[in-house]
Amino acid sequence: MISLLPAHADLAELDDEALAAVYAYPDDLAAPWVRVGFVASADGAAAAAGRSEGLSNAADHRVFVLLRRLADVVLVGAGTVRAQDYRGARRPTIGGSTPPPIAVITGSAELDPGSRLFTDTKVAPIILTLPTAPAERLARLTAAGADVVVLERLTPDALLAELAARGLHRVLCEGGPAVHGQFIAADAVDELCLSVAPLLTGGTAPRISAGPDGALPRSMRLVSALHEDGTLLLRYQRDTPIG
Ligand SMILES: NC(=O)c1ccc[n+]([C@@H]2O[C@H](COP(=O)([O-])OP(=O)(O)OC[C@H]3O[C@@H](n4cnc5c(N)ncnc54)[C@H](OP(=O)(O)O)[C@@H]3O)[C@@H](O)[C@H]2O)c1
């Protein structure tokens, strides 16, 4: 048994620059790299009262903000956007002048054009949807300032091809569990950044991924483990080559 990785792993000891180095994406990405970010309770809940805020704390929030600042795009399912009343990211990316856009996966396009996603953002949200979404909804979202993209499929490969075409390679997927489950099933998760908060929730909360049974477990390698006030900040990377 060994101590936490890396050797000096107390989050409070790391300044912002050192923390950014811990979470750096690989250099010179030629294709999207999917980093998934979640917070969970110690008994595995991904939400408290339907939202993740009840699980978060200062340490998780510090890493949450940093992960956004390191990303080219924040990819998230419409379920999470609706449950958490998402707004645009606030802080500019490191080395950039604007925050990353929020890219929302939605088959229904059932998003409120008056919600914070559209009214409280510095960059246009990207709405990734299907030809079956009602045209009037798409028109309302476009009028609200969104960049609406209609794709034939919302599979991980189709979504990532669209992001790649835009040069958005550093992908931060903020879930939710349904989206995460699809990316795991498609073997499209390169990295998982997981905050484990020192809480027990009980109840019927979701896990951090959901989907059909049957996929073989994906092997991941623990590449860093930080700690602050009882919260573990774990970073796993895929252990096997893609494909
Ligand atoms: N602990 C954490 O860090 C964390 C992070 C994120 C979320 N959460 C929690 O997770 C819950 C929400 O998660 P969720 O699993 O219900 O929702 P989700 O994964 O955020 O979004 C699911 C929605 O995304 C769209 N979608 C996803 N894949 C699609 C596909 N292949 N084709 C068409 N549409 C697709 C659909 O939207 P439409 O219905 O619009 O078609 C679907 O209903 C909330 O309680 C939230 O607080 C927790």
Residue closest via CA to ligand 1's atom 12 equals 80
Q: Which atom of ligand 1 is nearest to the CA of 50?
A: 45
- Does residue 208 carry a pLDDT above 50? yes
Closest CA to 67 of 98, 41, 96, 38: 38
Judge if the beta carbon of residue 78 lies within 6 A of ligand 1: yes
Residue closest via CA to ligand 1's atom 36 equals 106
- 227 - beta bridge partners? 10, 232
* CATH number for the domain whose boundaries are 30-238: 3.40.430.10
Residue closest via CA to ligand 1's atom 37 equals 106
Model confidence at 1, pLDDT cuts 50, 70, 90, reads very low
Q: What CA–CA distance (Å, rounded) separates 138 from 119?
A: 16
Per-domain residue ranges of the chain: 30-238
Each residue's pLDDT tens digit, 58-115: 999 999 999 999 999 999 999 999 999 999 999 999 999 999 999 999 999 999 999 9
Mapped onto helix, strand or coil, the DSSP state of residue 98 is coil
Residue closest via CA to ligand 1's atom 8 equals 176
What contacts 48, CB < 8 A, 6 or more positions away? Answer: 41, 54, 55, 199, 201, 205
Q: Write down the pLDDT at residue 176.
A: 96
Q: What CA–CA distance (Å, rounded) separates 58 from 120?
A: 23
- Does residue 2 carry a pLDDT above 60? no
Q: What angle do CA 56, 197, 4 make, to 5 degrees?
A: 125
**Order of all β-strands in the sheet with 147-150:** 147-150, 126-129, 102-105, 73-77, 170-173, 33-41, 191-197, 231-238, 220-228
Give the distance (Å) from ligand 1 centre to CA of residue 14. 33
Give the distance (Å) from ligand 1 centre to CA of residue 180. 8
Q: What angle do CA 88, 93, 98 make, to 5 degrees?
A: 60
The percentage of residues in the chain with a pLDDT greater than 90, rounded to a whole number, is 85
pTM (2 d.p.): 0.96
Q: What CA–CA distance (Å, rounded) separates 131 from 121?
A: 26
Q: Tokens 């045209």 identify what position?
A: 135
Judge if the beta carbon of residue 193 lies within 6 A of ligand 1: no
Give the distance (Å) from ligand 1 centre to CA of residue 153. 16
